[in-house]
Amino acid sequence: MPAQSTLRHDDYASGKGAAQENFPVASYLLPAAERAEILAFYRFARAADDIADHPYLTPAGKLALLDRMATALPVSGAAHAAELLIAFRQDAVQSRYASWDALMGYCRYSAAPVGRFLLDLFGEERALWPRADALCAALQVLNHLQDVAQDYRNLDRLYLPQDWLAAEGADGAMLTAGSTAPPLRRVLDRALTETAALLALSRPLAGRMRHRGLKRQTAIVQACGERLLTRLRRQDPLAGRVRLTALDKLRCALAGIAP
């Protein structure tokens, strides 16, 4: 078997692509040239994420591969891509977060660079960064909550704040059950309440953008985030992966493109 640092992407790729994401990545609402740049950025992020989330690569092997990726940043958004690598390196060596603030510190590098890249690509004002950061952090947490059991079982990774778990008498072992115990449910609901606050902060974002296509795509993403949050409030992520239905996505798309 080759050394982990010399593996090619095909050796560790998850097979996940933009079409499998919760939210539109580069919709046809955007111009072709910008879509191509977004997809190149996405492919870089996807490859790095596949490394960080691989169940069999060692931490040292992951770090070596991520260091290689740092020498091949996408041309468009290189500085933002470099910031993403900070979070992926963190994922390679860290599996717990002491508090919500610690988790938001992680999201600053795992999520915020994506929104900032899009704003810069379309020449939007950097004054919008805080609202974009809030939206990206909300989407990141929602994804964590969708995959909370899978991440624990496959990677021994737990993004729920440790102080919240301790306060409720909950622990990671509860994630191996087929349904959510009341103490764990209270922690999930607390995370959803904080995520709802992030989505409230990001709600004006689309309306303040100048580019019409980006404005509409962002409105769709916002609607998808809010709908997924509602589903996670009502459904049990341990009983099965909570996801948007085709009807949910249609309604979010219509809400996003409405005048």
Please give the Cα distance from 187 to 99 (Å, whole number). Answer: 12
Rounded to the nearest angstrom, the gap between the alpha carbon of residue 169 and the centroid of all alpha carbons in its chain is 27
Six-digit token pair at 229? 């949050």
In terms of pLDDT, which residue wins out, 14 or 155? 155
- Alpha-helical segments (H) within the chain: 9-12, 32-52, 59-69, 78-93, 100-110, 112-121, 129-146, 148-155, 162-168, 182-202, 212-234, 246-257
pLDDT of residue 21: 76
SS3 state at 126: helix
| φ, ψ dihedrals at 203, nearest 5° | -55, -40
pLDDT of 238 > 60? The answer is: yes
Q: Cα dist. 90→20, 150, 227 in Å?
A: 24, 19, 29
pLDDT digits (tens, 9 = 90+) for 189-220: 999 999 999 999 999 999 999 999 999 999 99
Average the pLDDT over 138-145 and give the result: 98
Six-digit token pair at 116? 């900032």
Share of the chain above pLDDT 90, in %: 88
**Is residue 257 within 8 Å of 212, Cβ to Cβ?**
no
pLDDT of 222 > 90? The answer is: yes
**pLDDT level of residue 19 (50, 70, 90 thresholds):** low
pLDDT of residue 105: 98
Six-digit token pair at 15? 């097979």
pLDDT digits (tens, 9 = 90+) for 160-187: 999 999 999 999 999 999 999 999 999 9
pLDDT digits (tens, 9 = 90+) for 61-113: 999 999 999 999 999 999 999 999 999 999 999 999 999 999 999 999 999 99
Q: Minimal CA–CA distance to 5: which of 65, 52, 69?
A: 65
Radius of gyration for the chain, computed over Cα atoms and rounded to the nearest angstrom? 18
User: Which class for 236: exposed (0-12), middle (13-18), buried (19 or more C-beta within 10 A)?
Assistant: middle
pLDDT of 2 > 50? The answer is: no
**Is residue 180 within 8 Å of 237, Cβ to Cβ?**
yes
Domain residue ranges in the chain: 4-257
pLDDT of residue 13: 62
pLDDT of 1 > 50? The answer is: no
**Is residue 82 within 8 Å of 70, Cβ to Cβ?**
yes
Average model confidence (pLDDT) across the chain? 93
Residues facing 96 on adjacent strands: 158
Q: Cα dist. 87→23, 37, 154 in Å?
A: 20, 21, 19
pLDDT of 3 > 70? The answer is: no
CATH number of 4-257: 1.10.600.10
Average the pLDDT over 12-34 and give the result: 79
Tokens 């508090």 belong to 99
First CA to last CA distance, the chain: 56
Q: Minimal CA–CA distance to 202: which of 111, 114, 137?
A: 137
